[in-house]
Structure 1
Amino acid sequence: PAAVHPAARPPVVPRAAWLDDLARHAQPPPRYDDKVVAVFVHHTDSPNGYACADAPRIIRYLYAGQIGARDWDDIGYNFLVDRCGTIYEGRAGGVDRPVTGAHTQGFNHRTAGIAALGTFTAGVPVPQAMVDAIAALTAWKLGLSDIDPRADVRLTSSNSRSRYAAGTTATLPALAGHKDGYMTSCPGAALAARLPEIRESAARLQGRASARAAGSLTGTP
């Protein structure tokens, strides 16, 4: 059935823009969940002073590190966003499908990972274009399952190396920071501080009422 609160799909640059022939490698078919009910926001812990035209090269470097030193089958994030607000497809499988990523240990199922290119520790400005792009992407992905970005959702941990023992059902924000599910400072204090704003912006893009008018937003998908 059609979502009650859909949001427009923002432009997404395909993998082909950053994954050149030299970087390609054999990988297993993508895995899928039934839907996406939460989004985890990350930062890539990489330099901030890049030209946006260099974003594909930076993503290719991140990909090489994850399939190389970490021996992953693909880049872990479903999406990456540069400081100019350009959204890139990350993990293979189709941007409009619920691809199982490798971004938040214990909580990769029924979630999407969005990585902000850069390092956003305390005091570091977060570009507004990046904030707006994350909001638009979140609104669209969660809107496909009719999830309010300001709500809480229940997710079951699959790995005891997360903040929750395997099998534990945790209540987490539908738009969460990496640190909400894993012991880390990611996405950095500066970006984490923008998450409430991003939740509200994403909810508006879904055509939802303000938080005050909506009342309680907690729900179970």
Structure 2
Amino acid sequence: MTAPERIQRHLSNPRLSRRTLLGASAGGVLLGGLALPTAAFAAPAPRCYTRTEWSARPPKSPTQVIGKPDHIVIHHTASANVTDYSLAAAYKVQHWIQDLHMDTNGWIDIGNQLTISRGGFLMEGRSQSLPAINNGQNVLGAQTANNNSHTIGIEHEGIYVSEDVPVALFDMSALTCAWLCTKYGLDPHTAIVGHRDYNTTQCPGDVFYARLPELRDRVAAIMLG
């Protein structure tokens, strides 16, 4: 069933009255221009490995907690497309990202709020990201130049200029984005964007970028159950 078909199915549900739909704009999720109540279409939180679990370095200075974002930015790490899909490999790439961002870029911490490994493991990025998300907030990152104040970024391990995205990574990206859209009351068809939509970059790679419409539809389908 396609995402539009799922939306139509829910609209035909007699339990969703016109009054319910019209009142859903407050605290609801917009899908395809329609306001649907968050409580009825809540995507669960995927397993996210915390900074403690992957042994993150402490930030150089405290992280700033800010209001909820209006866009989810899809990134790739532009690192090697490794074939080690283990949790240990996921931790390794997360350390590499943090070291790059702190020691080379000079940032206070890892720049992105979340990372997904090629094996499909979701990990907390910048300090306090997971508690902020769970509270419907965000932390100020350093992942999308000049647009960090209103975006949340997901790093995806690998480089997708010519190679396709691993199934496990794409599946976890869809689950993660559905969770974020639920938490923040966002419509995936307008909220999910690529890094190149904001900055001059190849990120997240031509292949991954071309699959963003598919990702948005997958997220909408997950949110509609």
Same structural fold, with TM-score higher than 0.5 when normalized by the shorter chain: yes
Query: Which residue is equivalent to 1:43?
Result: 76
Which residues of structure 2 form unaligned runs of 5+? 1-25, 29-36
Query: Which residue is equivalent to 1:194?
Result: 211
Query: Which residue is equivalent to 2:12?
Result: none
CA distance in 1: counterparts of 2:143 and 2:129, whole angstroms: 16
| 8 Å contact kept, 1:179–1:185 | yes
Query: Which residue is equivalent to 1:109?
Result: 149
Shift of 1:19: 2.6
Match of residue 140, structure 2, among 100, 121, 125: 100
Which residues of structure 1 form unaligned runs of 5+? 152-173, 209-221
Shift of 1:2: 5.2
Tell me the matched-pair count. Answer: 182
| 8 Å contact kept, 1:38–1:142 | no
Query: Which residue is equivalent to 1:31?
Result: 64
TM-score by length of structure 2 reads 0.76
CA distance in 1: counterparts of 2:220 and 2:204, whole angstroms: 21
Query: Which residue is equivalent to 1:132?
Result: 171
Runs of 4+ in 1 over 3 A off after TM superposition: none
Letter of the 1:179 partner, please give it: R
Give the structure with the higher percent helix.
2
TM-score by length of structure 1 reads 0.77
Q: Single out whichever of 139-148 and 70-79 deviates more from structure 2.
A: 139-148
Task: Find the structure with the greater CA-based Rg.
Answer: 2
CA deviation map 1:28-50 (0-9, x unaligned) = 22112211221000100101124
Q: Percent identity?
A: 30
CA distance in 1: counterparts of 2:59 and 2:145, whole angstroms: 23
Q: Single out whichever of 61-70 and 177-186 deviates more from structure 2.
A: 61-70
Matched, 1:182 2:199: yes
RMSD: 1.7
